[in-house]
Chains A and B, each alone.
Chain A
Amino acid sequence: MYRYDGYDATMLEERVAQFRDQTNRYLEGKLSDAEFLPLRLQNGLYVQRLAPMLRIAVPYGMLSSRQLRKLAFISSHYDKGYGHFTTRQNIQFNWPALEDVPELLAHLAEVEMHAIQTSGNCIRNTTTDQFAGVAIDEIEDSRPYCEIIRQWSTFHPEFAYLPRKFKIAVCGTQEDHAATQVHDIGVYLRKNDNGETGFQILAGGGLGRTPVIGQVVFDFIHRHDLLTALEAILRVYNREGRRDNKYKARIKILVRETGLDAFREKVQREWEQLRGGSLTLTDAEIERCKSYFQAPAYKPLEASPESLRAALAQDVLFASWYSNNVTAHKRSGYAAVAISFKKTGYAPGDVTEEQLNALADLADRFSFGEVRVTHAQNVILADVEESELYNLYQQLADDSLEASNLNKLNDIICCPGGDFCALANAKSIPIAEAIQRQFDDRELLADIGEVSLNISGCMNACGHHHVGNIGVLGVDKKGEEFYQVSIGGSSKREAKLGKILGPSFAQSEIPAVVADLITVYREQRLDHEKFIDTVDRIGVDPFKKRVYEKEQ
């Protein structure tokens, strides 16, 4: 993974010192709340009614065992012994006291971590595929480019006060694991006919109140032009994005109101100014960044060794875990393993101090000392020897981390919701738990197969409900918590937004509604058809009918 050099380390120290000074001035009354607000947000700190929260950046999801142990330390010293993996590959802690935050940030800096630009109206942490570097269908490893974007966007002086937050995702695989099309900018690695690497660039995607799929602004640009193209889009957005209405301030609204062609033209005009200038990338820089993401010291190993086959034959629970949580690896004899943080009874994405330490140990023992956080709030060990999988599984079982529900109905993506978040209309964690309890049966889950179920506590859509095969959104109905249900969403390559079924439901009704949806699917599905494909084929009506017929 990327390692800091003297420049990175110095700038991070300077940032910690800067925020320490800003916090002191705020506490002395020299900065007003409004003036301090963007400063603390751009250092990851929310001060809210229910629970203050610090969001720490995990650049493109990668964590070393050393960093995990530091996060465990932070969870016990500054939080109540746990943290929360977010849907943007970051980690959040609640309850840090404002005056402790500069100290906390100094701790993070010791392990090359920070909370810079994890919040506020600026360019946020760049996200990517959790299988980058190991995926079979990879065009090229996206992480060196994520790092290039991270550096360009960090402390970018022109874009610290954008109309609204700005999120970039990079995808280097055929199948999209990064929900790239619903980001303000989506970057797809591409090869042209000559085999040269470049990028397709989308802009104007996003979830929230007005969900939109991004549109192509650059069909193919040379790899050297990555930063000039991004800068051109950002500059148009910074100048022309709406600032009169917070709900219309995202770039998706600018693209829509300007019209795609006119928007493209404006970007093109900016790009002409920037293209060929000093921000043009060099092969030397691309190679330098790539050097941090070299393949680890893989051994030459045979694929699916005898010991693995024997274990699979003799232990059904292991076999079930294997079929759900293990993904093929581009190196023979290795596998990528997902550790599910969706055990029934635990809030999705929550991770305890012990688990953080356990993850660090697992990473050291099985996967070259590194893990990756996914946007589905799970954790990946990317480079596990197949012959070690059974040992790993047994260790996970000891650590209570063996849930074998990856991509299954109860692998729920869920925002913190009304239990923690001041913006929430409704709670989300209890909904997730009720659904998990309803479907807490390995065979049933296996029969239902792959379904994504995403829950957001309000329109801000941190739980990505629009792109869940089943989406649940908390709404406020005359002061009571209700839930709107949609189906048919997807964040895969052909991203789609779900369709709302109809009137919203009370909290207690949701498990039964999900059960009805699943029943219709199981009745109607053709051979091997996934839930999403059945919805696509038969449409929303049969589901709607079943769900609402009891009420009529």
Chain B
Amino acid sequence: MAILINTTEKIPDHWTLIQSASGPDVFSALRGRKALLPLELFLSDEEAAAAQFSAIGVWLDSHQTLDKLEDRLSSLPIIALNFPVFSDGRAYSLARRLRRDLGYTGEIRAIGDVLRDQLCFLERCGFDSFALRSDQDPDDCLKAFKDFSTSYTATAVNDTPLFRRRG
């Protein structure tokens, strides 16, 4: 079971991740929970899911796009972005698009191959919760957010690039 952190502490995980191969038949067994649905299942069976779950979020794999979600964002409290492998950098741009361009204010969670040495940049792209790979030391991971005290470019943490802040 992945340990969940935000940028300051360990936090309880209230969401149940539904695997991508699943169909709506799994819904009833998980009835009443908060469910993170894979994008395709959300698009095909949102209504059935809404009838079973107490809340719905969506997760995307790194090759997927936000196109079909753009007008639904305000109803989603959480979007999780999967890292099939930590070195697949596509989700950094997805998070940036969500936060900056689409003004998404809900939770953006990193799931999958989420490791200590990527956390600082993930935060700067707009992620705010991190489901760590099970072998990661959460206390050590929490230090990663302090690796750098500032950034040259505009980030989700501070949209003002350094050149606009230099005195």
Contact = CB atoms under 8 A, between A and B. Distances in A.
A288 B166 CA distance: 10
Contacts of B23: none
A15 B148 CA distance: 8
Interface residues of A, number: 40
Contacts, number: 105
Given A155-B151, A161-B89, 5 more contacts: A158-B92, A243-B90, A278-B154, A279-B153, A285-B164
B30 to A, nearest CB: 32
Given A14-B148, A161-B92, A38 B87 contact: yes
A279 B154 contact: yes
B162 A7 contact: yes
Interface in B118-167: 118, 120-122, 124-125, 147-155, 159-164, 166
A5 interface: yes
Nearest to A163: B89
A35 B154 contact: no
Grouping DSSP codes into helix (H, G, I), strand (E, B) and loop, the A interface class, with mixed when no group exceeds half, is: helix
Contacts of A332: none
A249 B118 CA distance: 21
Contacts of A285: 163-164, 166
A238 interface: yes
B109 interface: no
B19 interface: no
B89 A277 contact: no
Interface in A142-166: 148, 151-163
Given A156-B153, A157-B120, A151 B163 contact: yes
Contact of B121 (A15, A22, A153, A160): A160
A281 B163 contact: yes
10 contacts: A10-B150, A11-B149, A38-B87, A151-B162, A151-B163, A154-B152, A156-B152, A157-B155, A239-B65, A285-B164
A429 interface: no
Interface stretch (B3-11, B53-61, B93-101): B93-101
A281 to B, nearest CB: 7
A151 B96 contact: no
A119 to B, nearest CB: 14
B89 A152 contact: no
Interface of A: 5, 7, 10-11, 14-15, 18, 22, 31, 35, 38-39, 121, 148, 151-163, 227, 235, 238-239, 243, 273, 277-279, 281-282, 285, 288
A12 to B, nearest CB: 10
B117 interface: yes
Nearest to A36: B117
Nearest to A11: B148
A243 B88 contact: yes
The 10 closest A-B pairs by CB, nearest first: A161-B89, A157-B124, A157-B121, A285-B163, A151-B152, A273-B101, A158-B92, A238-B93, A278-B154, A239-B93
Nearest to B143: A21
A14 B163 contact: no
A15 B152 CA distance: 13
Interface residues of B, number: 37
B115 interface: yes
A27 to B, nearest CB: 15
A240 to B, nearest CB: 9
Contact of A161 (B87, B124, B149): B87
A154 B152 CA distance: 7
A15 B153 CA distance: 16
Given A10-B149, A11-B150, A152-B153, A158 B166 contact: no
B86 interface: yes
Contacts of B163: 148, 151, 281-282, 285, 288
A281 B96 CA distance: 20
Given A151-B152, A155-B148, A279 B89 contact: no
Contacts of B96: 158, 235
A279 B149 CA distance: 19
Contacts of B65: 239
Given A161-B89, A235-B93, A282-B163, A35 B117 contact: yes
Given A151-B163, A160-B121, A14 B147 contact: yes
From B89, B97, B149, residue with most partner A Cβ within 10 Å: B89
B51 to A, nearest CB: 34
A245 to B, nearest CB: 14
Contact of A18 (B90, B147, B152, B164): B147
Contacts of A243: 88, 90
Given A160-B89, A273-B101, A282 B164 contact: yes
Contact of A157 (B149, B151, B164): B151
Contacts of A156: 152-153
A155 B152 contact: yes
B105 to A, nearest CB: 17
Nearest to A284: B163
Interface in B26-54: none
Contact of A278 (B115, B117, B150, B160): B160
A158 B117 contact: no
Nearest to A120: B87
Contacts of B121: 155, 157-158, 160
B87 to A, nearest CB: 5
Nearest to B89: A161
A7 B92 contact: no
B18 to A, nearest CB: 25
B160 A158 contact: no
A155 B65 CA distance: 25
Contacts of A278: 154, 159-161, 164
A38 B87 CA distance: 8
Contacts of A152: 152-153, 161
Nearest to A277: B154
Given A238-B90, A239-B93, A281-B163, A158 B125 contact: yes
A243 B160 CA distance: 31
Contacts of B160: 278
B93 A158 contact: yes
Contact of B92 (A11, A157, A281): A157
Contacts of A281: 163
B162 A22 contact: no
Nearest to A272: B101
Q: Which of A11, A154, A281 has the most CB of B within 10 A?
A: A11
Contacts of A277: 154, 159
Contacts of A11: 148-150, 152
Most buried by B among A5, A39, A238: A238
